[in-house]
A and B are shown apart, each in its own frame.
Chain A
Amino acid sequence: KAGVTQTPRYLIKTRGQQVTLSCSPISGHRSVSWYQQTPGQGLQFLFEYFSETQRNKGNFPGRFSGRQFSNSRSEMNVSTLELGDSALYLCASSPLAGVTDTQYFGPGTRLTVL
């Protein structure tokens, strides 16, 4: 089976712009979670989607949003980008239980905000 794929792998944006990141889970997995990884804050949970519904949400502002499609693929959107949004964004998929079960991580999208 193919692993979790994330596109694009690298992205450079300027402040005020918006960005959309994409994640394709492992075939058959219905749960997709998103994380932000920075040197200062470490790894932080953004949100989890299951069957097109947001099931869990971390403590991030409303500029961060996501959605999941019927084929389980997920997108994450960040509007009005700030310098502090520069980070590695990781997507993880799991068959059912999401954050309480084994998660399979993608390689991440490296976002740089100038």
Chain B
Amino acid sequence: AQSVTQLDSHVSVSEGTPVLLRCNYSSSYSPSLFWYVQHPNKGLQLLLKYTSAATLVKGINGFEAEFKKSETSFHLTKPSAHMSDAAEYFCVVSDSGGGSYIPTFGRGTSLIVHP
């Protein structure tokens, strides 16, 4: 069975400093991995995804993530935080276990950006 763990429920940074949101996954198959962002009172938006191509994935708004199979990690980073980055971030794993793709969401990391 697949699973995903977001290691921090809250991350607090100052504007202009780097962002690191950590995600570890477990999968018996070749997984697809995603990061989504949810702003208050809005639907989820895809930031980036990994589907067995390049291990360093670039997404929207300056975010990127690196797939590390040996560490079963897919951490999300951004060099410089902006106030508008404050939101809830979800790491998602999906694999073909059992012949069907069913995504598993992490519990979310709340990113707080201080001026």
Q: How far is the CB of B111 from chain A (nearest CB, A)?
A: 16
Closest to A55 in B: B100
Q: Do B43 and A108 touch (CB < 8 A)?
A: yes
Interface size on B, residues (CB 8 A): 21
Residue A95 lies at the interface, judged by CB distance under 8 Å to chain B: no
User: By the criterion CB–CB under 8 Å, are A42 and B107 in contact?
Assistant: yes
With A43-B90, A99-B94 in contact, do A90 and B101 touch (Cβ < 8 Å)?
Answer: no
Give the tally of cross-chain contacts (CB within 8 A): 49
Within 8 A of A (CB), among B68-103: 90, 94, 100-103
A99, B101: Cβ atoms under 8 Å? yes
Give Cα A55–Cα B36 distance, bound, in whole angstroms: 23
User: Provided the pairs A43-B90, A100-B32 are in contact, do residues A105 and B101 lie with their beta carbons within 8 angstroms?
Assistant: no
Mark interface residues in A89-114 (1 if CB within 8 Å of B CB, else 0). 01010000011101111111000000
Q: What residues of chain B have their CB less than 8 Å away from a CB belonging to chain A? A: 32, 36, 41-46, 49, 51, 90, 94, 100-108
Listed A/B pairs (13) with beta-carbon separation below 8 Å: A3-B43, A42-B107, A42-B108, A45-B103, A57-B100, A58-B102, A98-B101, A99-B102, A100-B51, A102-B46, A103-B44, A106-B43, A107-B41
